[in-house]
Structure 1
Amino acid sequence: MNPLEILLILAVALVVLGPERMPEVIRAAARIMRELRAASNSVMRELSDAMEDDPPRTAQPPAPVSEPRDKSPGQS
């Protein structure tokens, strides 16, 4: 968001909520943003640690076939 959009949102919030409730709402919104950021950082840290601990397992290629099997007598 650019600064003009933020200013417009704050102006609308001021009209809707009034000057008495604005500081309370801003504090609550800031607290929620901090908690979300902390939770996001925690999840990212855990995922990063998990990826470093367990290297990816690579599948072993199948062994090459040396000779084809002969068909048993009587089979088509």
Structure 2
Amino acid sequence: MSRPQIQEEAVSQVAGLLMEKLQPDGLAIVMEADHFCMHWRGVKDTESKMINSVMRGSFLRDANLRREFLALIRKG
């Protein structure tokens, strides 16, 4: 990822690469990033953050596993 891009695309690309290379049973990614269009345009909000998540495999199929993962990262 060598250029600015939409965060939703970035997290999806990371998930795809990890799934391809590692071939795990499941994958869960939560990405928090600065929302630069809010910094540069419009409201000029320098504190604006975007959070996106991607679930693949067992995290997508198993709601309990997904809940456990999300609960653990909230505590962190």
Shorter-normalised TM-score: what interval?
A: under 0.3
Query: Which has more strand, going by share of residues?
Result: 2
Question: RCO (CA 8 Å, sep 6+): is it higher in 1 or 2?
Answer: 2
Taking structure 1 as the reference length, the TM-score comes to 0.28
**Greater CA radius of gyration, 1 or 2?**
1
Taking structure 2 as the reference length, the TM-score comes to 0.28
Query: Which has more helix, going by share of residues?
Result: 1
